[in-house]
A and B are shown apart, each in its own frame.
Chain A
Amino acid sequence: MTGLTVQMIFLVFFGAAAVWFGIVVFRTHSMVRSALALLFSQTAVGALFLVMQAEFLGVLQIMMMATEMSVMAIFMVMFMMDPGGLGEMDMTHQKRLSLWAGGIGLLAALMLVWLPDWGPVALSVPGAHEQAQALGRELLGRSMLVFQSAGLTILTAMVAATMVAIVPNAEQRK
Chain B
Amino acid sequence: MILELMIALSVGAGLFGVGLYGALSQTNLVMILMGVELILAAALVNIVAFWRYLHPDEPAAQMFVLIVMAVMAVEMAVGFGIAIARFRVRGSVEMEEARELKG
- Write the residues of chain A forming the contact surface with B, with a CB cutoff of 8 angstroms: 4, 7-8, 11-12, 15-16, 18-19, 22-23, 25-26, 31, 34-35, 38, 41-42, 45, 48-49, 52-54, 56-57, 60-61, 64, 68, 71-72, 75-76, 78-81, 91-95, 97-99, 101-103, 105-106, 109-110, 112-114, 118-119, 121-126, 131, 134-135, 137-139, 142-143, 146-147, 150-151, 153-154, 157-158, 160-165, 167
Summarize B's interface: helix, strand, loop or mixed: helix
B98 within 8 A of A: no
Partner of B16, one of A16, A106, A151, A153: A106
Taking CB atoms, residues of chain A closer than 8 Å to B60 are 138, 142-143
| B51, closest chain A residue (CB) | A54
Given A25-B34, A54-B65, A121-B2, 11 more A-B residue pairs with CB atoms under 8 Å apart are A18-B14, A25-B22, A26-B22, A26-B26, A75-B80, A101-B24, A113-B6, A114-B10, A122-B54, A142-B60, A153-B74
Summarize A's interface: helix, strand, loop or mixed: helix
Taking CB atoms, residues of chain A closer than 8 Å to B52 are 52-54, 122, 125
Partner of A146, one of B35, B54, B63: B63
Taking CB atoms, residues of chain A closer than 8 Å to B45 are 18, 45, 48
Measured CB to CB, the closest approach of chain A to B14, in angstroms, equals 4
The B20-75 residues at the A interface (CB cut-off 8 A) are 20-22, 24-31, 33-35, 37-38, 41-42, 44-45, 48-49, 51-57, 59-60, 62-63, 65-67, 69-70, 72-74
The CA of A7 and the CA of B49, in the complex, are separated in Å by 13
